[in-house]
Amino acid sequence: MNISEFLKGYDPKNISVGVLGGHSALDVCHGAKKHGFRTVCIARKGRERTYAKYYRTSDFGLRTSERKRGCIDEVILVDKFEDVLKENVQNELKSLNTIFVHNRYFWVYFSDYAKVENDFQIPIFGSRTFVKLEERDGSATLTTGQPYNQYHLLHDAGIRTPKIFAKPEDIDRPVLVKAAEAKRGYERAFFVVGSKEEWEREGTRLEKEGKVGPKWRQATIEEFIVGAPVNFNFFWSPLTKELELLGTDTRRQTNLDGFLRMTAPEQTKALASGIPLKMIETGHIACTVKESILEKAFDLGEKFVAATQKLPKKLDPSGKGIIGPFALQGAVTAEDGKEDIVIFDVSLRIPGSPGTFATPYSRYLYGETMSVGERIGMELRLGADAGKLEQLLT
Protein backbone atom coordinates (compact mmCIF):
# COMPACT_ATOMS: atom_id res chain seq x y z
CA MET A 1 0.00 0.00 0.00
CA ASN A 2 1.69 3.15 -1.26
CA ILE A 3 0.33 6.06 0.76
CA SER A 4 1.64 8.59 -1.77
CA GLU A 5 -0.77 7.08 -4.32
CA PHE A 6 -3.67 7.61 -1.92
CA LEU A 7 -2.68 11.26 -1.49
CA LYS A 8 -2.25 11.93 -5.21
CA GLY A 9 -4.42 14.88 -6.13
CA TYR A 10 -5.04 15.87 -2.53
CA ASP A 11 -4.77 19.53 -1.54
CA PRO A 12 -2.83 19.49 1.77
CA LYS A 13 -4.21 22.95 2.57
CA ASN A 14 -7.80 21.78 2.30
CA ILE A 15 -7.89 18.47 4.20
CA SER A 16 -11.07 16.99 5.64
CA VAL A 17 -11.05 14.52 8.52
CA GLY A 18 -13.46 11.61 8.10
CA VAL A 19 -15.08 9.25 10.60
CA LEU A 20 -17.74 6.58 10.86
CA GLY A 21 -20.74 7.85 12.79
CA GLY A 22 -20.22 6.31 16.22
CA HIS A 23 -17.66 5.34 18.86
CA SER A 24 -15.36 8.41 18.96
CA ALA A 25 -16.64 10.40 15.97
CA LEU A 26 -17.58 13.54 17.89
CA ASP A 27 -14.28 13.61 19.75
CA VAL A 28 -12.30 13.29 16.51
CA CYS A 29 -14.36 15.90 14.69
CA HIS A 30 -14.17 18.38 17.56
CA GLY A 31 -10.39 18.01 17.59
CA ALA A 32 -10.20 18.37 13.82
CA LYS A 33 -12.28 21.55 13.84
CA LYS A 34 -10.15 23.02 16.60
CA HIS A 35 -7.11 22.68 14.34
CA GLY A 36 -8.74 24.09 11.25
CA PHE A 37 -9.90 20.99 9.33
CA ARG A 38 -13.27 20.33 7.76
CA THR A 39 -15.03 17.17 8.91
CA VAL A 40 -17.09 14.50 7.19
CA CYS A 41 -19.10 11.76 8.89
CA ILE A 42 -20.32 8.51 7.33
CA ALA A 43 -23.63 8.09 9.17
CA ARG A 44 -25.86 5.05 9.06
CA LYS A 45 -29.50 5.68 8.20
CA GLY A 46 -31.68 5.37 11.27
CA ARG A 47 -28.99 6.57 13.65
CA GLU A 48 -27.76 9.68 11.86
CA ARG A 49 -29.42 12.49 13.83
CA THR A 50 -26.56 12.84 16.32
CA TYR A 51 -24.34 13.89 13.43
CA ALA A 52 -26.76 15.31 10.85
CA LYS A 53 -28.80 17.36 13.34
CA TYR A 54 -27.61 17.72 16.91
CA TYR A 55 -23.88 18.31 16.30
CA ARG A 56 -23.97 19.60 12.70
CA THR A 57 -22.03 22.84 12.26
CA SER A 58 -24.19 25.95 12.02
CA ASP A 59 -24.09 29.68 12.66
CA PHE A 60 -24.24 30.57 16.33
CA GLY A 61 -26.78 33.26 17.05
CA LEU A 62 -28.62 35.57 14.69
CA ARG A 63 -26.23 38.51 14.38
CA THR A 64 -22.94 36.93 13.47
CA SER A 65 -21.90 34.35 10.91
CA GLU A 66 -18.33 34.13 12.21
CA ARG A 67 -19.12 32.10 15.30
CA LYS A 68 -19.97 28.49 14.62
CA ARG A 69 -21.29 25.69 16.76
CA GLY A 70 -21.16 21.96 16.18
CA CYS A 71 -18.33 19.91 14.70
CA ILE A 72 -19.79 17.89 11.77
CA ASP A 73 -19.53 19.74 8.44
CA GLU A 74 -20.54 17.05 5.96
CA VAL A 75 -22.69 13.95 6.41
CA ILE A 76 -22.78 11.05 3.96
CA LEU A 77 -25.73 8.76 4.64
CA VAL A 78 -25.33 5.03 4.03
CA ASP A 79 -27.56 2.01 4.58
CA LYS A 80 -24.78 0.21 6.42
CA PHE A 81 -21.25 1.19 7.44
CA GLU A 82 -19.73 -1.25 4.95
CA ASP A 83 -21.03 1.04 2.22
CA VAL A 84 -18.05 3.30 2.86
CA LEU A 85 -16.24 0.82 0.60
CA LYS A 86 -18.52 1.65 -2.34
CA GLU A 87 -16.85 3.49 -5.21
CA ASN A 88 -19.23 6.47 -5.14
CA VAL A 89 -18.71 7.00 -1.41
CA GLN A 90 -14.95 6.75 -1.75
CA ASN A 91 -15.00 9.18 -4.66
CA GLU A 92 -16.91 11.68 -2.54
CA LEU A 93 -14.38 11.27 0.27
CA LYS A 94 -11.53 11.81 -2.18
CA SER A 95 -13.18 14.97 -3.52
CA LEU A 96 -13.14 16.29 0.04
CA ASN A 97 -9.42 15.44 0.46
CA THR A 98 -10.40 13.12 3.31
CA ILE A 99 -8.06 11.54 5.80
CA PHE A 100 -9.97 8.91 7.78
CA VAL A 101 -9.56 8.23 11.50
CA HIS A 102 -10.61 4.63 12.04
CA ASN A 103 -11.94 3.06 15.23
CA ARG A 104 -13.36 -0.24 16.47
CA TYR A 105 -16.39 0.14 14.20
CA PHE A 106 -14.20 -0.90 11.29
CA TRP A 107 -13.90 -4.32 12.91
CA VAL A 108 -17.37 -4.63 14.43
CA TYR A 109 -19.49 -3.64 11.42
CA PHE A 110 -17.44 -5.04 8.52
CA SER A 111 -17.91 -8.68 7.56
CA ASP A 112 -14.44 -8.83 6.00
CA TYR A 113 -11.85 -6.51 7.51
CA ALA A 114 -9.42 -7.37 4.70
CA LYS A 115 -11.56 -5.15 2.46
CA VAL A 116 -10.76 -2.19 4.69
CA GLU A 117 -7.08 -3.00 4.41
CA ASN A 118 -7.08 -3.54 0.65
CA ASP A 119 -10.11 -1.87 -0.95
CA PHE A 120 -10.53 1.31 1.10
CA GLN A 121 -8.47 3.69 -1.01
CA ILE A 122 -8.64 6.54 1.49
CA PRO A 123 -5.60 7.40 3.64
CA ILE A 124 -6.06 6.38 7.27
CA PHE A 125 -4.49 8.19 10.19
CA GLY A 126 -3.11 5.36 12.27
CA SER A 127 -2.20 1.76 11.67
CA ARG A 128 -4.51 0.34 9.00
CA THR A 129 -3.74 -3.35 9.63
CA PHE A 130 -3.67 -3.36 13.44
CA VAL A 131 -7.36 -3.37 14.37
CA LYS A 132 -7.68 -7.09 13.72
CA LEU A 133 -4.91 -7.76 16.25
CA GLU A 134 -7.35 -6.76 18.99
CA GLU A 135 -9.25 -9.98 18.40
CA ARG A 136 -8.97 -12.19 21.47
CA ASP A 137 -11.20 -15.22 21.01
CA GLY A 138 -10.06 -18.56 22.30
CA SER A 139 -8.96 -19.78 18.87
CA ALA A 140 -6.10 -17.30 18.86
CA THR A 141 -4.49 -17.62 22.27
CA LEU A 142 -0.84 -18.13 23.02
CA THR A 143 -1.43 -21.77 23.78
CA THR A 144 -2.86 -22.80 20.42
CA GLY A 145 -0.39 -21.18 18.05
CA GLN A 146 -3.24 -19.64 16.05
CA PRO A 147 -3.07 -16.25 14.27
CA TYR A 148 -1.13 -13.46 15.97
CA ASN A 149 -3.25 -11.18 18.17
CA GLN A 150 -3.04 -8.84 21.14
CA TYR A 151 -2.00 -11.62 23.52
CA HIS A 152 1.03 -12.39 21.39
CA LEU A 153 1.86 -8.70 21.01
CA LEU A 154 1.74 -8.07 24.76
CA HIS A 155 3.81 -11.20 25.34
CA ASP A 156 6.43 -10.09 22.82
CA ALA A 157 6.53 -6.65 24.46
CA GLY A 158 7.29 -8.22 27.82
CA ILE A 159 4.15 -6.79 29.41
CA ARG A 160 2.51 -8.64 32.26
CA THR A 161 -0.90 -10.06 31.42
CA PRO A 162 -3.32 -12.35 33.28
CA LYS A 163 -2.60 -16.05 33.06
CA ILE A 164 -4.44 -17.71 30.17
CA PHE A 165 -5.89 -21.17 30.82
CA ALA A 166 -5.63 -23.48 27.82
CA LYS A 167 -8.49 -25.68 28.99
CA PRO A 168 -11.16 -25.54 31.69
CA GLU A 169 -9.61 -28.50 33.55
CA ASP A 170 -6.71 -26.20 34.46
CA ILE A 171 -8.85 -23.62 36.28
CA ASP A 172 -7.50 -23.30 39.82
CA ARG A 173 -8.57 -19.75 40.74
CA PRO A 174 -11.26 -17.20 39.82
CA VAL A 175 -11.24 -16.70 36.05
CA LEU A 176 -12.98 -14.44 33.57
CA VAL A 177 -14.50 -16.24 30.60
CA LYS A 178 -14.44 -13.71 27.74
CA ALA A 179 -17.52 -14.95 25.94
CA ALA A 180 -19.44 -12.95 23.37
CA GLU A 181 -23.06 -11.92 23.63
CA ALA A 182 -25.56 -14.16 21.87
CA LYS A 183 -27.32 -11.33 20.02
CA ARG A 184 -24.40 -8.96 19.49
CA GLY A 185 -21.34 -11.08 18.90
CA TYR A 186 -19.05 -8.05 19.05
CA GLU A 187 -20.17 -7.18 22.60
CA ARG A 188 -19.00 -8.84 25.78
CA ALA A 189 -20.93 -11.21 28.00
CA PHE A 190 -18.09 -12.09 30.36
CA PHE A 191 -18.72 -14.34 33.33
CA VAL A 192 -16.63 -15.32 36.36
CA VAL A 193 -16.16 -18.91 37.55
CA GLY A 194 -13.75 -20.78 39.80
CA SER A 195 -13.65 -24.34 38.49
CA LYS A 196 -14.26 -26.51 35.41
CA GLU A 197 -17.59 -27.65 36.84
CA GLU A 198 -18.71 -24.07 37.43
CA TRP A 199 -17.45 -23.09 33.94
CA GLU A 200 -19.62 -25.77 32.34
CA ARG A 201 -22.64 -25.08 34.52
CA GLU A 202 -22.58 -21.28 34.15
CA GLY A 203 -21.78 -21.27 30.45
CA THR A 204 -24.53 -23.78 29.69
CA ARG A 205 -27.04 -21.76 31.70
CA LEU A 206 -26.13 -18.49 30.00
CA GLU A 207 -26.32 -20.09 26.55
CA LYS A 208 -29.73 -21.60 27.33
CA GLU A 209 -30.97 -18.19 28.49
CA GLY A 210 -29.67 -16.54 25.31
CA LYS A 211 -27.06 -14.50 27.13
CA VAL A 212 -23.91 -15.91 25.46
CA GLY A 213 -23.32 -17.28 21.99
CA PRO A 214 -22.98 -20.98 21.18
CA LYS A 215 -19.19 -20.69 20.83
CA TRP A 216 -18.64 -19.75 24.48
CA ARG A 217 -16.56 -22.91 25.03
CA GLN A 218 -13.97 -21.47 22.65
CA ALA A 219 -13.77 -18.18 24.56
CA THR A 220 -10.56 -17.18 26.29
CA ILE A 221 -10.35 -18.26 29.93
CA GLU A 222 -8.34 -15.59 31.70
CA GLU A 223 -7.18 -15.18 35.29
CA PHE A 224 -9.48 -12.73 37.09
CA ILE A 225 -7.30 -9.86 38.26
CA VAL A 226 -8.36 -8.25 41.51
CA GLY A 227 -7.29 -4.62 41.34
CA ALA A 228 -8.30 -1.09 40.45
CA PRO A 229 -9.25 -1.02 36.73
CA VAL A 230 -7.41 1.68 34.78
CA ASN A 231 -7.12 2.38 31.06
CA PHE A 232 -3.87 4.10 30.10
CA ASN A 233 -4.53 6.17 26.96
CA PHE A 234 -1.28 6.84 25.10
CA PHE A 235 -0.25 8.67 21.95
CA TRP A 236 2.85 7.87 19.90
CA SER A 237 3.92 10.68 17.61
CA PRO A 238 5.91 9.68 14.51
CA LEU A 239 6.79 13.36 14.13
CA THR A 240 8.42 13.88 17.53
CA LYS A 241 9.25 10.20 18.19
CA GLU A 242 7.83 10.66 21.68
CA LEU A 243 5.29 8.79 23.78
CA GLU A 244 2.61 10.79 25.57
CA LEU A 245 0.10 9.77 28.23
CA LEU A 246 -3.06 11.68 27.30
CA GLY A 247 -5.22 10.46 30.13
CA THR A 248 -6.50 7.67 32.31
CA ASP A 249 -10.02 6.41 32.75
CA THR A 250 -12.06 3.46 33.89
CA ARG A 251 -15.20 1.89 32.45
CA ARG A 252 -18.84 1.95 33.38
CA GLN A 253 -20.55 -1.36 32.75
CA THR A 254 -24.17 -2.35 32.79
CA ASN A 255 -25.44 -3.83 34.87
CA LEU A 256 -22.30 -4.35 36.99
CA ASP A 257 -22.39 -0.72 38.12
CA GLY A 258 -25.92 -1.20 39.36
CA PHE A 259 -24.89 -4.26 41.37
CA LEU A 260 -21.97 -2.39 42.90
CA ARG A 261 -24.39 0.21 44.28
CA MET A 262 -26.22 -2.48 46.26
CA THR A 263 -25.36 -3.94 49.62
CA ALA A 264 -24.35 -7.61 49.71
CA PRO A 265 -27.83 -8.80 50.84
CA GLU A 266 -29.43 -6.77 48.03
CA GLN A 267 -27.04 -8.27 45.49
CA THR A 268 -27.94 -11.77 46.68
CA LYS A 269 -31.66 -11.01 46.37
CA ALA A 270 -31.21 -9.55 42.89
CA LEU A 271 -29.29 -12.59 41.66
CA ALA A 272 -31.79 -14.96 43.27
CA SER A 273 -34.68 -13.16 41.59
CA GLY A 274 -33.16 -13.85 38.17
CA ILE A 275 -31.38 -10.57 37.43
CA PRO A 276 -28.12 -11.69 35.78
CA LEU A 277 -24.82 -9.93 36.30
CA LYS A 278 -23.61 -8.36 33.04
CA MET A 279 -20.45 -6.50 32.09
CA ILE A 280 -21.45 -4.61 28.95
CA GLU A 281 -19.54 -1.40 28.28
CA THR A 282 -21.72 1.69 28.50
CA GLY A 283 -19.32 4.54 29.14
CA HIS A 284 -16.15 5.75 30.82
CA ILE A 285 -15.19 7.71 33.91
CA ALA A 286 -12.08 9.87 34.06
CA CYS A 287 -9.77 8.87 36.90
CA THR A 288 -6.20 9.55 38.00
CA VAL A 289 -3.35 7.39 39.26
CA LYS A 290 -0.64 8.12 41.80
CA GLU A 291 2.47 9.76 40.39
CA SER A 292 4.51 6.83 41.65
CA ILE A 293 2.71 4.62 39.11
CA LEU A 294 3.35 6.86 36.09
CA GLU A 295 6.89 5.74 35.34
CA LYS A 296 5.78 2.11 35.36
CA ALA A 297 2.92 3.00 32.99
CA PHE A 298 5.24 4.84 30.62
CA ASP A 299 7.59 1.87 30.65
CA LEU A 300 4.75 -0.38 29.49
CA GLY A 301 3.84 2.10 26.78
CA GLU A 302 7.42 2.31 25.52
CA LYS A 303 7.71 -1.48 25.41
CA PHE A 304 4.47 -1.73 23.49
CA VAL A 305 5.49 0.86 20.89
CA ALA A 306 8.83 -0.90 20.40
CA ALA A 307 7.07 -4.24 19.92
CA THR A 308 4.78 -2.84 17.22
CA GLN A 309 7.79 -1.41 15.39
CA LYS A 310 9.32 -4.88 15.17
CA LEU A 311 6.30 -6.59 13.62
CA PRO A 312 6.91 -8.41 10.33
CA LYS A 313 5.68 -7.00 7.03
CA LYS A 314 2.80 -9.48 6.84
CA LEU A 315 1.32 -7.89 9.97
CA ASP A 316 2.44 -4.32 9.32
CA PRO A 317 3.06 -3.70 5.61
CA SER A 318 3.72 -0.01 6.35
CA GLY A 319 6.66 -0.86 8.62
CA LYS A 320 5.71 2.13 10.79
CA GLY A 321 4.44 0.42 13.91
CA ILE A 322 1.76 2.08 16.00
CA ILE A 323 0.75 5.58 14.91
CA GLY A 324 -1.09 8.00 17.18
CA PRO A 325 -3.47 6.81 19.88
CA PHE A 326 -3.57 3.44 21.60
CA ALA A 327 -4.64 2.21 25.02
CA LEU A 328 -3.36 -0.38 27.44
CA GLN A 329 -6.28 -1.44 29.59
CA GLY A 330 -5.77 -3.28 32.82
CA ALA A 331 -5.70 -3.03 36.57
CA VAL A 332 -3.34 -1.79 39.27
CA THR A 333 -2.76 -4.56 41.78
CA ALA A 334 -1.17 -4.63 45.24
CA GLU A 335 1.07 -7.65 45.75
CA ASP A 336 3.80 -8.29 48.30
CA GLY A 337 3.63 -4.72 49.53
CA LYS A 338 4.01 -3.07 46.12
CA GLU A 339 1.84 -2.11 43.19
CA ASP A 340 1.99 -3.55 39.72
CA ILE A 341 0.07 -3.03 36.48
CA VAL A 342 -1.50 -6.01 34.73
CA ILE A 343 -2.77 -5.42 31.19
CA PHE A 344 -5.68 -7.48 29.91
CA ASP A 345 -6.91 -5.56 26.88
CA VAL A 346 -5.51 -3.36 24.11
CA SER A 347 -6.90 -0.71 21.77
CA LEU A 348 -4.71 -0.31 18.70
CA ARG A 349 -6.53 2.85 17.55
CA ILE A 350 -8.44 5.67 19.22
CA PRO A 351 -10.15 4.35 22.36
CA GLY A 352 -13.79 5.24 22.89
CA SER A 353 -13.26 7.53 25.88
CA PRO A 354 -13.57 11.26 25.13
CA GLY A 355 -13.33 12.13 28.82
CA THR A 356 -9.56 11.67 29.18
CA PHE A 357 -9.16 15.45 28.85
CA ALA A 358 -10.56 15.63 32.39
CA THR A 359 -7.33 14.10 33.71
CA PRO A 360 -4.23 16.32 34.10
CA TYR A 361 -1.57 14.42 32.15
CA SER A 362 -1.72 16.31 28.85
CA ARG A 363 -1.84 19.57 30.82
CA TYR A 364 1.46 18.73 32.50
CA LEU A 365 2.98 18.45 29.02
CA TYR A 366 1.20 21.13 26.99
CA GLY A 367 -0.11 23.54 29.61
CA GLU A 368 -3.70 22.60 28.83
CA THR A 369 -5.70 19.40 28.83
CA MET A 370 -6.81 17.89 25.56
CA SER A 371 -8.86 14.95 24.41
CA VAL A 372 -7.51 12.21 22.17
CA GLY A 373 -9.42 13.77 19.28
CA GLU A 374 -7.73 17.12 19.88
CA ARG A 375 -4.31 15.46 19.95
CA ILE A 376 -5.07 13.75 16.63
CA GLY A 377 -6.07 17.12 15.18
CA MET A 378 -2.83 18.64 16.43
CA GLU A 379 -0.72 15.86 14.89
CA LEU A 380 -2.49 16.15 11.55
CA ARG A 381 -2.02 19.93 11.55
CA LEU A 382 1.69 19.59 12.35
CA GLY A 383 2.07 16.98 9.63
CA ALA A 384 0.17 19.00 7.02
CA ASP A 385 2.06 22.22 7.74
CA ALA A 386 5.43 20.46 7.69
CA GLY A 387 4.70 18.43 4.56
CA LYS A 388 5.01 15.20 6.57
CA LEU A 389 1.50 13.77 6.35
CA GLU A 390 2.78 10.55 4.81
CA GLN A 391 4.55 9.68 8.06
CA LEU A 392 1.16 9.63 9.83
CA LEU A 393 -0.90 7.67 7.33
CA THR A 394 -1.30 4.12 6.09
Q: Do 218 and 176 reside in the same domain of the chain?
A: yes
Q: Do 335 and 352 reside in the same domain of the chain?
A: yes
Mean pLDDT on 120-136: 92
Q: Residue 71 corresponds to which amino acid?
A: C
Q: Do 241 and 358 reside in the same domain of the chain?
A: yes
Q: Do 203 and 216 reside in the same domain of the chain?
A: yes
pTM: 0.89
Q: Do 138 and 52 reside in the same domain of the chain?
A: no
Q: Do 300 and 382 reside in the same domain of the chain?
A: yes
CATH of the domain at 326: 3.30.470.20
pLDDT band at 186 (very low <50, low <70, confident <90, very high): low
Q: Is residue 261 part of a domain?
A: no
Q: Do 65 and 169 reside in the same domain of the chain?
A: no
Q: Do 143 and 100 reside in the same domain of the chain?
A: no
User: Which of residues 74, 100, 125 is at a domain's end?
Assistant: 125
C-alpha dist (Å) from residue 176 to 6, 203, 215, 225, 226: 43, 12, 15, 9, 11
Residue 141 has pLDDT above 50, yes or no: no
Cβ pair 177, 188 in contact under 8 A? no
Q: Is residue 258 part of a domain?
A: no
Q: Which domain holds residue 367?
A: 126-160+227-251+279-394
For 273-340, give the DSSP string: TT----EEEEEEEE----HHHHHHHHHHHHHHHHHHTT--TTT-TT-----EEEEEEEEEEEETTEEE
Span 231-242, pLDDT tens digits: 999 999 999 999
Q: Do 19 and 62 reside in the same domain of the chain?
A: yes
Number of domains in the chain: 3
Q: Do 23 and 86 reside in the same domain of the chain?
A: yes
pLDDT band at 187 (very low <50, low <70, confident <90, very high): low
DSSP helix/strand/coil, 32 = helix
CATH of the domain at 14: 3.40.50.20
The span from the CA of 305 to the CA of 311, in Å, is 10
pLDDT band at 139 (very low <50, low <70, confident <90, very high): very low
Q: Do 286 and 391 reside in the same domain of the chain?
A: yes
What b-and-e string marks burial along 158-179, b requiring 16 or more CB atoms within 10 Å of the CB?
Answer: ebebbebbeebeebeeebbbbb
pLDDT at 28: 98
Q: Do 363 and 218 reside in the same domain of the chain?
A: no
Q: Beta strands 242-255 and 338-347: pairing type?
A: unpaired
pLDDT at 143: 42
